Amino acid sequence: MEAQSQTLPENAYRPLAKGEQYCPLLPPGANVPELTLRSIFWGVLLCILFSVASAYSGLKVGQGMEAAIPISILAIGLARVYKRRTSLLENVIITGIGAASGSVVAGAIFTLPALYILHLDPNPVQTIFICLAGGCLGVLFLIPLRRYFACEMHGQLPFPEATAITEVLVTGEKGGSQAKLLVQATVIATLYDFLTTTFHLWKEYIDFQFIPVLRSLAERGRMVVKFDAVSFIVGLGYVMGLRSSLVFCAGGVLANLVLVPLIWFVGQHLNVAVYPALLPIAQMSAGEIVHDYVRYIGVGAIATAGILGIFKSLRVIAGAFGIALHAFRHGEPAETARTDRDIPMLSMLLGVIVASLGIAIFFGNLRVSWTVVALGLLLTLLFSFFFTSVAANAIATTANNPASGMTMLTIIISAVVLLSFGLTAQTGMFFVMAIAGMVCVALCVSGQFITDLKAGYWIGSTPAAQQKVKFIGVITAAVVSGLTIVMLAHVYQFGESAVGDTRQVLAAPQASIMKALVVGFMSRQPVAYMLFGLGAMVTLVLEMLGKSSMVFALGMYLPLSLTTPVLAGGFLSHLVNRSSEKAGGARGTRIRERGVVIASGLMAGGALGGVLGAALHLFKWYREDLVTTSFYSNDSIAQIVSAVLMLALCYYVWSTSAKKEKV
């Protein structure tokens, strides 16, 4: 069977009718090379390269390098190096191993540098172990959830990033006009996002403050609308579709255009700060109100949505463990189809036990009581399992992992619980940050891993093979990123410059926030339970109305500048799909397929543009004003130019999708 002659089945992206089944591009009986020495070698090599680059970039500018999409593109190029072209399934393996770099590094840079900022100086073994334990837990806890997210929720979750990766791999393998279209969209998006975010050509963020009415609303009511004008987010919204993007943006509208003005209205006459803020509300901008108040409401909403999501998937989880119990009593079940074969559940349970023993030994070496060790282990396992579901749901719906919010919640709850057992000072802070580090890596890895598994489900990979090689990727990324952080900690300062220390500073912005949080709570500051509770109530109201609470909660937490371009992409998807329905037949199908391919190109190109831009920050000669335009300093003109270019990009997507093709 030749993959080149195929496309994804027409029911790949839509919900299945009753009794209908999805048959992947490469069915269970296909005999295609998959888990080979070639695929493992290139996956590990790319994982090493992206781990080093992403760790340095993330610590320097707060922006890591998203690995999955660029690696999938590299995998296609590498396929042509060999006499026997690398197969589609081998490319899935390469992408899966390499993509572990971005997820492990993301969790590491959020937490580990905080230990150096606090002068707790972990040794290399501790740094690597935190990354390794968290990464393994993220993979292990996602295995019983695979069928629920990848199979049972087929067509109900958009999986934007998985869609982009799948289209890149399948279109590149297939060749022809669709491949040319993907390359064209990728090149356009790469140039667009690279120029937008890297130099002073026009404004990346449009806040519409040059319009008098909107400026007045911002000044008098703290109602600020922003738009991040980059192609990646528009492509993301396109793949999400209009319905999901509307719900997503609605969360941002509630947070920024209802809660922020409400807090400002109530507190604008107060001359004292209201916890957890340090400034009086009267002195706050809209962004500061979001940071100090609304963000906590969003975290409470996401956490509650995650809890409810676990309850919704309990049947599948129970079924998975039921299989393990049956295997324990009667041996492994009968052979399942290749495309539905996971690592044996007993192996997964054994992996959790081994990881738990390692974590317990790690905590025991911190010279705390065995009660605290047991408590720390319990917190790590509970948070890791719980946030695995949250991260998978978030990535499946919006391609945005709420890692910072969930890590903050981990720090807050862990600190409050451990304080009650007398754990304070440096040991307490190290203990809490170690828990947070493992949990953060776990949720970052699980969020990225569900993308791999969904892409593999569409294409026809063997889940067990993907799960096995993911451990290879996690081990590689943990060792490389851990050692990179240790090395950078000797050469640079993290956070802020210390008195008498002449080393250069790496900002490590996320870790600086976590450091401030753990210091605050280990100093017995009060917890903003009311704000978390308000977020929980928002989620409960949405669930009572039968709406998607996780997507809405993510919209509340993430910046409005991100949710508005997602909505623009959703409307664009709606227009193209209407053109497809109007055309009907084969032409309508081609319009719909071309739209998805172009949107995938926008996401792939946007990721590449971001990687290139982040890489330039690593050179001393780079400055944002290295390339500039004469009108950039004129905010109104620069924003108008940005808006016009974004409209031109949207027109390109619509017109190219709908144009007639020569047959």
Residue-wise pLDDT for 47-81, tens only, equals 888 887 777 766 765 555 567 777 887 787 777 77
Among residues 33, 30, 16, 155, the alpha carbon closest in space to that of 465 is found at: 33
| Contact call for residues 69 and 102 (beta carbons, < 8 A) | no
The reply to whether 3 falls in a domain is no
CA distances to 311, 562, 566 from 244, rounded to whole Å, are: 22, 14, 9
Do residues 367 and 258 share a domain? Answer: no
Q: Determine phi and psi for 530, rounding to 5 degrees.
A: -60, -40
| Mean per-residue pLDDT, 356-363 | 94
Look at residue 438 in the predicted model and tell me its pLDDT: 94
E strands of 90-153, at which residues?
none
Among residues 417, 410, 416, the alpha carbon closest in space to that of 433 is found at: 410
Task: Give the chain's mean pLDDT.
Answer: 83
User: What single-letter amino acid sits at 157?
Assistant: L
Q: Mark residue 293 as left, alpha or beta (left: phi above 0; alpha: psi -120 to 50; beta: remaining).
A: alpha
Look at residue 646 in the predicted model and tell me its pLDDT: 94
Look at residue 523 in the predicted model and tell me its pLDDT: 66
| Distance in angstroms (rounded) separating the CA atoms of residues 63 and 358 | 31
E strands of 135-248, at which residues?
205-206, 227-228
Strands 205-206 and 493-494: unpaired
Give per-residue pLDDT as tens, 475-492: 999 998 888 888 877 777
Do residues 501 and 567 share a domain? Answer: no
The reply to whether 405 falls in a domain is yes
The reply to whether 165 falls in a domain is yes
Look at residue 5 in the predicted model and tell me its pLDDT: 42
SS3 227: strand
| Contact call for residues 169 and 7 (beta carbons, < 8 A) | no
The reply to whether 638 falls in a domain is yes
The reply to whether 193 falls in a domain is yes
Beta bridge partners of 206: 227
Find the range with the poorest average confidence among 247-251, 612-616, 642-646: 612-616
Do residues 258 and 407 share a domain? Answer: no
pLDDT range class, residue 506, cuts 50, 70, 90:
low
Find the range with the poorest average confidence among 412-426, 510-524, 623-637: 510-524
Do residues 533 and 565 share a domain? Answer: no
Residue 324, pLDDT > 60, answer no
H or E element at residue 486: helix 463-491
Do residues 193 and 165 share a domain? Answer: no
Task: Write out the residue range of the structural domain in which residue 137 sits.
Answer: 33-171+304-539
Q: Provide the CB-side half-sphere exposure for 255 (13 A, CA).
A: 36
SS3 230: coil
E strands of 130-226, at which residues?
205-206
User: Which of 506, 539, 572 is the C-terminal boundary of a domain?
Assistant: 539
| Distance in angstroms (rounded) separating the CA atoms of residues 370 and 362 | 12
Do residues 485 and 392 share a domain? Answer: yes
| Contact call for residues 410 and 383 (beta carbons, < 8 A) | yes
Look at residue 593 in the predicted model and tell me its pLDDT: 74
| Mean per-residue pLDDT, 22-26 | 87
User: Which of 496, 519, 539 is the C-terminal boundary of a domain?
Assistant: 539
Do residues 531 and 385 share a domain? Answer: yes
Among residues 528, 556, 533, 458, the alpha carbon closest in space to that of 256 is found at: 556
Find the range with the poorest average confidence among 278-287, 471-480, 585-594: 585-594
Q: Which residue would you say has higher pLDDT here, 573 or 400?
A: 573
**Peptide bond before 276: cis, by omega within 30 degrees of 0?**
yes
pTM above 0.85, yes or no: no
Q: Determine phi and psi for 180, rounding to 5 degrees.
A: -65, -40
User: Which of 511, 539, 567 is the C-terminal boundary of a domain?
Assistant: 539
Using alpha carbons only, what angle is made at residue 489 by residues 485 and 492, rounded to the nearest 5 degrees? 120
Number of domains in the chain: 2
User: What single-letter amino acid sits at 579?
Assistant: S
The reply to whether 293 falls in a domain is no
Do residues 59 and 151 share a domain? Answer: yes
Do residues 155 and 63 share a domain? Answer: yes
Give per-residue pLDDT as tens, 287-309: 899 888 998 898 788 778 877 77
H or E element at residue 177: helix 177-198
Look at residue 335 in the predicted model and tell me its pLDDT: 60
Residue 502, pLDDT > 70, answer no
The reply to whether 11 falls in a domain is no
Do residues 200 and 224 share a domain? Answer: yes
Look at residue 3 in the predicted model and tell me its pLDDT: 40
The residues, any chain, with a CB within 8 Å of residue 420's CB and separated by 6 or more, are none
Among residues 161, 232, 167, 237, the alpha carbon closest in space to that of 194 is found at: 232
Q: Provide the CB-side half-sphere exposure for 331 (13 A, CA).
A: 2
Q: Which residue would you say has higher pLDDT here, 202 or 317?
A: 202
Among residues 118, 132, 127, 126, the alpha carbon closest in space to that of 514 is found at: 118
The reply to whether 14 falls in a domain is no
Residue 591, pLDDT > 80, answer yes
Look at residue 662 in the predicted model and tell me its pLDDT: 55
| Contact call for residues 453 and 146 (beta carbons, < 8 A) | yes
User: What single-letter amino acid sits at 399?
Assistant: A
Do residues 96 and 131 share a domain? Answer: yes
Do residues 523 and 390 share a domain? Answer: yes
Beta bridge partners of 277: none
